Structures are given as C-alpha cells and as structure tokens.
Amino acid sequence: MTKNIVWYQNNVTRIARQNLNRHRSIMIWFTGLSGAGKSTLASAVEAYLHELQYRTYMLDGDNVRHGLNSDLGFSLKDRDENLRRIGEVGKLMVDAGVITLAAFISPLEEERANVRRLFARDDFIEVYCNASLDVCETRDTKGMYKKAREGKILDFTGVSSPYEAPISPDITVNTGTKKLEDCVYDVIDELKKRGLVPLTQN
C-alpha cells in the first residue's frame, strides 16, 4: 500500500445513511457447495426485506465474475482474491447503509474469516447453506459436477478442490432438505433476534 494515500472522511456518515433508510446496514454472507441454494436463498431473503422497504443489494458469484472479477480464474489464489475484492465491495456497501447479501461458495474457513475481519462484529452474519454433495449433484442443471468428475473442469469445489464447512456459522440452514420458504424464515428469525427486522409486520 502506498504511503501517499489518506482516507477521506465523508461529511455524510454511515449513521446518517442508516437514519435516512430507517434500518441498520449489515453483510449477510451465504456459503455452501455449488448447488446448495445460496443464490436462491439470498435472493428470496432480499425479496422479503425489499417488501419491508429495506435498501438491499445482492452480490452473486457468477454475476461479479462478469465484470469486477472477470480477470480471475478458479485457482485457489484467484478464488482468494475474488473473495477479498467482494469483501471490500461489501464493506463499502454496508458503509453506504445497504443491507448486502453475498452468495459465494467461499470454500475455505480462512478465506471466510478474512472477509469477516473486514467488518465490525455485529455487521457480519455468516449463513451456511448445508446441503450434501449428493443433493447438490442432483441439482446440477448446468452439468458442472459431471464435467468436473470427467476431468473437464479443474479445481471444482467438492470434487477436485476442498470445501471446508463453517466451524461456527451464525446460522446453519438445511437447504438440502427444507423448503425455500422455511429456509428464508430461518434467516429472517436470526435478523429478528438481532433487532434488524421487526418482530411483526404491519
């Protein structure tokens, strides 16, 4: 990092933005195997919050690789950089007062810990989308697992590259066995416990 860069303190603070939005901002990080339902669940949770007129934005692994991270591959080094960039983007969005939902495989515990460290303790919620490898393979509409087992895709998480399940996630959602609606409520219940969502809706 260059020594000639100084952080500029904006006149409009995060607290001011949150007051305008009438809700706190936070990062909700969804992790799990490919096919575990991360993006599906994150999108459904965002829709729920949008109905409450909360300001939200969802960061999805595939979408981000179309632009910001289009220069990265899928080696462990590139995946680490992919998550570092997303963590920094998410940090800016939380500072902007937005409830940010990030759906990324994020396979290694150390990588997820590095992202968590970017945020204050109460600003980060890790959601483990728990679905077995067998279930994820049955959902493989793109044929990615098949190609990985045939050696056509290298460094594929769960097949030729490891996935380390979270040791102590904030929420574990059994996306492999539960209905989507019930999974959404699991996440929303945690947000209610933290005072981020009202206990009752008008």
Q: How confident is the model at residue 165 (pLDDT cuts 50, 70, 90)?
A: very high
Helix axes 76-95, 109-116, angle to 10 degrees: 20
Is the pLDDT at 105 greater than 50? The verdict is yes
Catalytic: 75?
no
Quote the pLDDT of residue 199: 64
Is the pLDDT at 201 greater than 60? The verdict is no
**Options 3.40.50.300, 3.40.50.150, 1.10.3720.10, 3.40.50.2300; CATH of 22-191:** 3.40.50.300
Q: How confident is the model at residue 202 (pLDDT cuts 50, 70, 90)?
A: very low
Give me the percent of the chain exceeding a pLDDT of 70.
95
Q: What pTM value is reported for the model?
A: 0.89
Catalytic residue among 106, 132, 161, 168: 106
Which of 56-70, 104-118, 161-175 has the lowest average pLDDT? 56-70
Indicate the domain borders of the chain.
22-191
32-89 tens-digit pLDDT? 999 999 999 999 999 999 999 999 999 986 777 777 778 777 777 888 888 898 999 9
- Helix H, strand E, coil C: the string for the chain is CCCCCCCCCCCCCHHHHHHHHCCCCCEEEEECCCCCCHHHHHHHHHHHHHHCCCCEEEEEHHHHCCCCCCCCCCCHHHHHHHHHHHHHHHHHHHHCCCEEEEECCCCCHHHHHHHHCCCCHHHEEEEEECCCHHHHHHCCCCCHHHHHHCCCCCCCECCCECCCCCCCCCEEECCCCCCHHHHHHHHHHHHHHCCCCCCCCC
